[in-house]
Structure 1
């Protein structure tokens, strides 16, 4: 029987990045590694397979169809299409896939949902599945503030109350200004109740989406800068202020996307004189030619969208980088982040 390690955390915690790093570290140690994502988020038009599943299938060379590696796709309004009558069938479907993925593996990495409670009405939430699989759980938490620690401790206690073994925790994507507080305050508090196996600092190349990912999420039209869509976006600024207050603010934000109306040529031109990765012009309003000319000179993509500014912000608010198969630079970064910042020997001991 393989060791089953269930990676549990909220959206944006970096479960997939940790899965990539652990898979490569375990393989390096001589283990045969498999991957399972029981539930993937569905509902995106034109997308039939979860990107994480495509990536992990190729990375690990899994010779199984996508529908085995991730047999169920959840959506926010799933209960309206009659799935409540199929609870037993869904559980059976997932367990059948689970059995197949265990074959010829020493370690099976199971990646949880965007939130552990998702699909609890169908009895296939992460807590229930971890118990069904007999898995040990590794809790992944992105440290943002004190509530992040509360979330980690709450998940830990929930699992232990359900008699599910918690291997430990990883604090992931910790921003540099929070590292000292994480080590000096959060770590001791967590270790009073559980085991901390790693603190992984944020790396912008892993966490920050590219201009192309913004463009795809917004279904926007690239007016100039098609050759620069691989630039990363570390921050988003909404250009609704006047020019006098805009310049000092824009200078403080590096590698940013500036979202503003196409009729705000003054603000767009000001943004182009600061560290800007992309201009996103809303409302379907084409900018003045001077904006496009200056953007081309600066190699800054300009993207036109037909949504208003508020709707545009909503679409990119939770956007994070999607690692693609063959992106060796980012995959190796993920591997090094896990290897250099986590106690792998202790983790292997505990699972």
Structure 2
């Protein structure tokens, strides 16, 4: 039965969204679907069995079952890394092949989710390129726009994978770059034999994070407006400047969390009155009573953190670029994005499902 490996040029590129979108669409068309994630990077136990957090989540979303030992034969724990770097030689590919055979039995298609980039796991022989060739499956590689696209990487992958590369998906493309994609990048890639299966535009909603999740990731404490912690945060703004300058920037970024020192009540008040989704106060300093009262009245949560403003801003940048797909509304929206921007007819033809 055919298999399709979903890989990427780097971590946090949208593999779960693509797997989910493909899976839900194929299931809607009546295909019996299998799912596995050969290498798990987020170890977690469920019912006493070791597996991968993403894999357990995707099984739930797709409504598919499978023993963790088959779904994720290789789980990268600290002990696993120590053994690998100490030169302990084990065949990690054999259990992956066995798991794939068990999962794909009596299935019309098995989706195989990669971990990290296509070269991740090279140190122990379980990188995406090796697995695609060993399993004899087709692959789709996602390249997420992060300042630019990895054109060279995609061309090299085509040379490495040959016909095993069904095509690539260009993800999170900002509006300002769309014209260049259409007129320059896509024609260039396809002239090199790299089929562009879809171009997914940047979607603000997919990059949001709930206030409550943000507080948890920052190691902070929510101290007000606890009933409004489901507010979505799209981006962030640092409130270290003078109030007049801050107001100018803030008007352009209304859905941004405002990171500001706990002693800057002037900026805090402007942000609250401007209906920002939340305040992140740094330096472990409580706001004054006026700020707390306005926060409660306006329903704007305040997160208090120990770190300084610069450190929190760096964390925020990382969190917003790497926040995982977990919210049910995002699952639905992500599936719709994939369904509307990928060439499913071509994919089915490549897999022999047409």
Fold-level similarity (TM above 0.5) = yes
Tell me the SS of whatever aligns to 1:276. coil
Q: Residues 298 and 236 (structure 1 numbering): CA distance in 2 closer, same or farther, change over 3 Å?
A: same
Aligned-partner SS, 1:277: coil
Give the corresponding residue for 1:68: 70
Q: Which range is displaced more, 225-234 or 337-346?
A: 225-234
Looking at structure 2, the residues matched to 238 and 43 of structure 1 have their Cα atoms a distance apart, in angstroms, of: 34
- Give ranges in structure 2 of 5+ residues lacking alignment: none
Residues 194-222 of structure 1 deviation map (CA, whole Å, 9 limit, x = unaligned): 11111122222223222222112112111
Matches of 2:264 and 2:52, distance apart in 1 = 38
Take 2:203 and 2:12, find their aligned partners in 1: how far apart are those partners?
Answer: 14
2:287 aligns with 287
Question: Aligned-pair RMSD on alpha carbons?
Answer: 2.6
Name the structure 1 match of 2:130.
128
The answer for the alignment partner of 2:143 in structure 1 is 141
Matched with 1:167 is 166
TM-score (norm 2): 0.88
Written as runs of structure 1 = structure 2, the 5 A alignment for 1:127-276 is: 127-145=129-147, 147-148=148-149, 151-163=150-162, 165-193=164-192, 194-276=194-276
Counterparts of 2:38 and 2:6 in 1: how far apart (Å)?
12
Q: 1:344 to 1:160 in 2, by over 3 A?
A: same
- The reply on whether 1:58 has 2:57 as its aligned counterpart is no
Residues of 1 paired with 2:348 and 2:261: CA distance? 53
The change in CA–CA distance for 1:175 and 1:49 in structure 2 (over 3 A counts) is: farther
Would the aligned equivalents of 1:156 and 1:166 in 2 still touch at CA under 8 Å?
A: no
Shift of 1:250: 1.5
Matched positions, count: 344
Tell me, yes or no, if the aligned pair for 2:43 and 2:53 is still in contact at 8 Å. Answer: no
TM-score normalised by structure 1 residue count: 0.88
CA distance in 1, matches of 2:289, 2:195: 58
SS at match of 1:252: coil
Structure 1 residue matching 2:284: 3-state secondary structure: coil
Structure 1 position 17, deviation (Å): 0.7
Aligned-pair CA distance for 1:124: 1.1
> Does the alignment pair 1:25 with 2:25?
yes
